[in-house]
Amino acid sequence: MNMKLDGKVPPGPLEEKWKQYRSTMNLVAPNNKRRIEIIVVGTGLAGASAAATLGELGYQVKAFTFHDSPRRAHSIAAQGGINAAKNYQNDGDSIYRLFYDTIKGGDYRSRESNVYRLAEVSNNIIDQAVAQGVPFAREYGGLLDNRSFGGVQVSRTFYARGQTGQQLLLGAYQALARQIAQGSVTMYNRHEMLDLVMVDGKARGIIARNLLTGKIERHAAHCVVLGTGGYGNVFYLSTNAMNSNGSAAWRTVRRGALMANPCFTQIHPTCIPQHGEYQSKLTLMSESLRNDGRVWVPKKQEDAKAIREGKKTGNDIPEEDRDYYLERRYPAFGNLVPRDVASRAAKTVCDEGLGVAPTGLAVYLDFESAIERYGKSSAHSQGINNPSDAKIRELGKAVVSEKYGNLFEMYEKITGDNPYETPMMIYPAVHYTMGGIWVDYNLETNIPGLFATGECNFSDHGANRLGASALMQGLADGYFVLPYTIGQFLSDEIRTPQIDPSHEAFDKTEQDVKDRIEQLLSIKGSKSVESFHRRLGKIMWDYCGMSRNAEGLKSGRKMIRELQEEFYKDVLVPGTNEEYNPELEKALRVADFLELGELMMVDALHREESCGGHFREEYQSEEGEALRDDEHFAFVSAWEYNGWEEEPVLHKEDLVFENVELKTRSYK
């Protein structure tokens, strides 16, 4: 039975919705806030900012992370920056333009009202972060500096060298630390959520495992907020951290929450290419590099072959034999096309045999012309007349180093190559998941009292996220949206006494968790968890990666089923539950990835169109661009999942566009 999904979008013109709604929504009085308990799972940008802000408001917050400290969440690794519609550069930016760019960048598969609100609060985030002491880049006049990111034609990205995520997360972590010290937030480090507890149809608590002792614990609250990040690690190799996983969110799906657009995955165009079978993860090179780096491959097959065989390097290829394919195909945006477009273009040239690494899976990102341009400008401003080529290079390298030094250093550490001298090699890799738990305008899921924030919800990025928008969304949700909207639920709960963790619903859920752990430990098979994860990742990448087709998705689904059966017969989890046991943690996560991966295949098969990161080979133009089908697929696919014995059930939320015209996305 399909349920009607109500996005609860408030009435009124787009520009007024949030303002009006915020002033009329229900409030919880301070004396009641003190009695109300909220569980926040995850302490990345979304979770930490939410927990800190809810604590400041006077609620009793319990925050959970599986890390040893909230500061380790993977938001910390975000490099490039955070968008805001400040228009400090006077280049024509506005809230509407940020909204429009995000809707268009997402290929018209997100909800207008949520995206507009995101653009609206983006400016508050910058103010808040500055006040917290985030050391953003500055101009000589002491004011904030900006740079450009993909898919837009203004400079609206605020940054702190190549470590913007780190600085913003530390800001949120410090705000959280202040609340912990004041006693409004109780922090549970090294605790992993393993299930959601529902009492009378509402989210009322979680079952968590203490990762040091293995103790299975019950935690009760009036409501539960997820800020648990994305599920990109279903692909095994991704830019996500090793421990990033989808389990907390997936467990709520197993309790009835809907999973929206799970097949919308972002493959980031600029990552360091894979180099060996033992490799554990992929490393991102920030999109900000595309401000100055030019992407190319050799024009001639024989040059590409010689480079692959180590007989030539990129420097040996003369200018006229290079194909700057992004500049050629997309003159209006050039190297700064959105991520999905840049990634597919890289795949296309590598498929044509023009890739440059020994594996054939890499393209160049070249800084030579930037070094020359900056060198000349620097010589000019220092009053050096007729500088030598060597001087120009020296000055140019200094400018590039100031902008991207830490990224160049990281590249050299990993590959052993010096990117100031030879062009960087890059290839697309899984980076972010736009899909996630379905939420309404209040960020509440279809389970009353269960909220989802940041990457773990689906709401703002449609089928493709623009660069520097993940940090914006995580902090928007946590600082400026959820702390208001959660009141809509909690204002009806002021008469609800403290939730009793000895309620039978807790008994039952705790037993379910213990049974799952016991099952995994008792298999005592012959293959490590890691080996299953690696094989799952390969299936996902081959059949549900940068391009997909019906036949591949069907066989991919079948292969996951077979892998899953093998997993439950032959996985080897050493040790016991009652100890520090990272292998058991991994086994629980991979078991969930197997189910989630299958649902991604189902979703990708069902969506018979190409949009954003979802490229179906059957639906493309003659030039190889994505063909969207607005007539049949302008909706959110929200899946109900009842275990792998049953077919997932699709529920649709129609996407209504009242303020933007649905157009074919063009960056030409």
Is residue 27 near other proteins by the rule CB under 8 A?
no
Contact residue for other proteins among 2, 12, 135, 215 (CB under 8 A): 135
Is residue 413 near other proteins by the rule CB under 8 A?
yes
Closer Cβ to other proteins, 272 or 350, answer by number: 272
Closest separation in Å from C-beta 386 to other proteins: 30
Rounded Cα distance between 552 and 546, Å, is 12
**Token pair listed for 44:** 């990345």
Is residue 67 near other proteins by the rule CB under 8 A?
yes
DSSP secondary-structure letter at 614?
B
**Token pair listed for 147:** 């740079």
Contact residue for other proteins among 354, 362, 395, 410 (CB under 8 A): 410
Closer Cβ to other proteins, 321 or 409, answer by number: 409
Are 312 and 303 in contact, with CB atoms under 8 Å apart?
Answer: yes
- CA geometry: angle 26, 32, 34, nearest 5 deg: 125
In 36-174, the DSSP E strands lie at 37-41, 60-64, 82-83, 157-158
Closest separation in Å from C-beta 628 to other proteins: 34
Q: Which of residues 284-313 bind other proteins (CB under 8 A)?
A: 284
Is residue 52 near other proteins by the rule CB under 8 A?
yes
Closer Cβ to other proteins, 162 or 501, answer by number: 162
Rounded Cα distance between 421 and 396, Å, is 12
Closest separation in Å from C-beta 346 to other proteins: 21
Order of all β-strands in the sheet with 37-41: 185-188, 60-64, 37-41, 223-226, 450-452
Is residue 530 near other proteins by the rule CB under 8 A?
yes
3-state secondary structure of 569: helix
| DSSP per-residue string spanning 544-594 | HSSSB-HHHHHHHHHHHHHHHHHHHHHEE--S-SSS--HHHHHHHHHHHHH
Beta-bridge mates of residue 225:
40, 451
Closer Cβ to other proteins, 139 or 507, answer by number: 139
φ/ψ (deg, to 5) at 354 = -105, 5
Piece in contact with other proteins (CB under 8 A), picked from 89-97, 253-261, 537-545, 570-578: 570-578
Is residue 69 near other proteins by the rule CB under 8 A?
yes
DSSP secondary-structure letter at 284?
B
3-state secondary structure of 62: strand
Closest separation in Å from C-beta 368 to other proteins: 25
Contact residue for other proteins among 83, 114, 128, 343 (CB under 8 A): 128
| Annotated active-site residue in 71, 204, 339, 548 | 339
Is residue 140 near other proteins by the rule CB under 8 A?
yes
**Token pair listed for 266:** 């972002």
Is residue 18 near other proteins by the rule CB under 8 A?
no
Closest CA to 375 of 362, 384, 366: 384
Rg (alpha carbons) of the chain, rounded to whole number: 25
Long-range contacts of 309-314 (CB under 8 A, 24+ apart): 309/358, 310/358, 313/422, 314/356, 314/364, 314/366, 314/422, 314/423
Contact residue for other proteins among 70, 106, 293, 487 (CB under 8 A): 70
Is residue 142 near other proteins by the rule CB under 8 A?
yes
Count of alpha carbons within 13 Å of 137, Cβ hemisphere only? 18
Piece in contact with other proteins (CB under 8 A), picked from 177-185, 322-330, 494-502, 553-561: 177-185
3-state secondary structure of 259: strand
Closest separation in Å from C-beta 275 to other proteins: 5
Are 327 and 335 in contact, with CB atoms under 8 Å apart?
Answer: yes
Strands 649-654 and 635-640, by their bridges, are: antiparallel
Contact residue for other proteins among 8, 35, 281, 299 (CB under 8 A): 281
Contact residue for other proteins among 33, 74, 557, 628 (CB under 8 A): 74
Can 339 be counted among the known catalytic residues?
yes
Q: Which of residues 81-120 bind other proteins (CB under 8 A)?
A: 86, 88
Is residue 358 near other proteins by the rule CB under 8 A?
no
Is residue 170 near other proteins by the rule CB under 8 A?
yes
Closest separation in Å from C-beta 531 to other proteins: 8
Is residue 525 near other proteins by the rule CB under 8 A?
no
Q: Which of residues 459-518 bind other proteins (CB under 8 A)?
A: 479-480, 483
Closest separation in Å from C-beta 69 to other proteins: 5
Closer Cβ to other proteins, 27 or 143, answer by number: 143
Query: Scanning the structure block, which residue is given the tokens 């004041």?
Result: 182
Closest separation in Å from C-beta 279 to other proteins: 7
Contact residue for other proteins among 574, 656, 663, 664 (CB under 8 A): 574
* Active site positions, annotated: 339
